[in-house]
Structure 1
Amino acid sequence: MRRAVVALAAGALLVACAPDPTADVAGSSWQVTDIWTTPGEPSALPPQSAGLARLAFGEQSLSGHTGCAPIQGTVTFTRAGEPARTEDADTLRIDHIEGDTAADDCPALHTHEQLRELLAPGAEFDLRHAERELTLTLRVDAVDRPAIGLAAI
C-alpha cells in the first residue's frame, strides 16, 4: 500500500512539473501582457488593466476585448508575402476591425485607446510565436517599433 501511495505521489509531481503544451496562434486565447509604444520606456500596460485585454485569432479573424469594449475583425496571415496558415505565418495584417466605444470611466481606458490605435485597418505586424507567447510588432519605419505582447491563457 505504501508503495502505491509513493508511486501516485511521484506521478503527481511529474505531472505538476510538466511544461504547458504549446499554444497555437489560432484557437487559443491570448491575454495582452505588454504594450510598448514609447522608445526607452517599459510596457505601457497600467496595473489596473492587468488581465482585462485579450485577443483570439482564427485563420482569417480576430476577436477580443480591449479591457473596455469588445472588438472583432478580419485579418490576413502571410509568410514572405504569400498567404499562409496562422502557424506558418510571420506577418499579420488587420484588414477590418470594429468595436464599441469605451466608457469614459473604464479603468483600462489607456489600454483600450492604445489597442484601438495599434489594431487599425491596414496595420501590419511582424508575428513572433514562441510556445505560449506571441509578440506582434508593428511594421513601421522606426528603430523602436510599437509592439503588443501576449501570453496564452
Structure 2
Amino acid sequence: MMPRCARLITPLTAACAATLLVACGSGEEEPQAPGDEQILDKQWQVVSINTTPDAASTIPESIPQAPTLSFGESTLVGTTGCTQMVGKVTYSANEERQNIQDGNRLHFDEVDYDETAQDCHGASVWADNLLRNLISTGRDFHYTVNSNNQLVLELITDEVDSPSIKLVSLGN
C-alpha cells in the first residue's frame, strides 16, 4: 500500500506537469531580450564604424560623448559625439516605400549637422568625420538587427566589404 503522502504528491506532480505543458503550448510570446528588434523609440549608441576591413572601427569607451542615433517614422536625430544632427529618412523594401518595421532599406532624404563643438578632439573627431561621411543626404543603407541585438546599417555600394555602422540599444 502507498503511503498517504506519496498518494498526494503523485497527483500534484501530474497536475503541475500538465500545467507546464499547457503553458508551453499556449502560443504566448516569450519576453524579448532588452535589445529586441524594435528600432523606433530607442536611443542607439554607435559601437563601431567600419569603413575598410583593415581600419580601426570600434568607438573607444574613453570618448567623452559616444555617438548616438534615434529613428522616428520619417526622422533621425542624433549626435556624432562632436555635434548634433537631424534628418529626414525614408524606409523601403523591394523598391516599395514601407514603415521601418517592414522595410530593410533606409534612405537619407536630408541630413543637417550643427557646428562642431570647439572642445572636440581625438577619437571624437575621428568618429565625427566618419559619421559625417557615411550619414549624408542621398545615401542608402540596408538595416538589420543582428543576433547580438545590434542595429547594423550597411552602406549600399558595389564594394565587397561595404562600410557599416553598428549600434546597440540604450533602451527607450
TM range (shorter): 0.7 to 0.9
* CA deviation after TM superposition for structure 1 residue 20, in Å: 2.4
Number of aligned residue pairs: give it: 136
Amino acid at match of 1:117: N
Alignment of 1:128 with 2:144, yes or no, is: yes
Tell me if 1:41 matches 2:55: yes
Aligned to 1:5: none
Give unpaired runs (5+ residues) of structure 1.
1-17
1:77 and 2:77 are equivalent in the alignment: no
Percent identity over the alignment is 32
SS at match of 2:168: strand
TM-score (norm 2): 0.72
Higher alpha-carbon deviation: 102-111 or 91-100: 102-111
Unpaired segments of 5 or more residues in structure 2?
1-31
| TM-score w.r.t. length of structure 1 | 0.80
Please state how far the C-alpha of 1:21 moved relative to its aligned partner.
Answer: 5.6
Q: What is the aligned partner in structure 2 of residue 52 from structure 1?
A: 66
Give the RMSD, CA atoms, in angstroms.
Answer: 2.0
**8 Å CA contact 2:35, 2:169 repeated in 1:** no
More off after superposition, 48-57 vs 58-67? 48-57
Q: 1:118 to 1:38 in 2, by over 3 A?
A: same
* Bigger share in strand: 1
The answer to whether structure 1 residue 102 and structure 2 residue 119 are counterparts is no
Q: Where does residue 152 of structure 1 map in the other structure?
A: 169
Worse-matched range after superposition: 68-77 or 130-139: 130-139
Q: Deviations over 1:52-76 (max 9, x none)?
A: 1000000100001110111001000
Which amino acid letter does the alignment assign opposite residue 126 of structure 1? H
Aligned counterpart in structure 1 of residue 129 of structure 2, from 92, 113, 120? 113
Equivalent pair of 2:141/2:156 in contact (CA under 8 Å): yes
Give me the whole-angstrom Cα distance separating, in 2, the residues matched to 1:105 and 1:46. 17
Counterparts of 2:143 and 2:75 in 1: how far apart (Å)? 15
- Describe the superposition over 1:32-67 as per-residue Cα deviations: whole angstroms up to 9, x where unpaired: 011001223341534443761000000100001110
Give yes or no for the alignment of 1:24 onto 2:24.
Answer: no
Q: Tell whether the 8 Å contact from 1:76 to 1:92 is kept in structure 2 after alignment.
A: yes
Q: 1:138 aligns with which of 134, 138, 155?
A: 155
Q: What residue number does 1:15 align with?
A: none
Larger Rg: 2
* Distance in 2 separating the partners of 1:34 and 1:147: 8
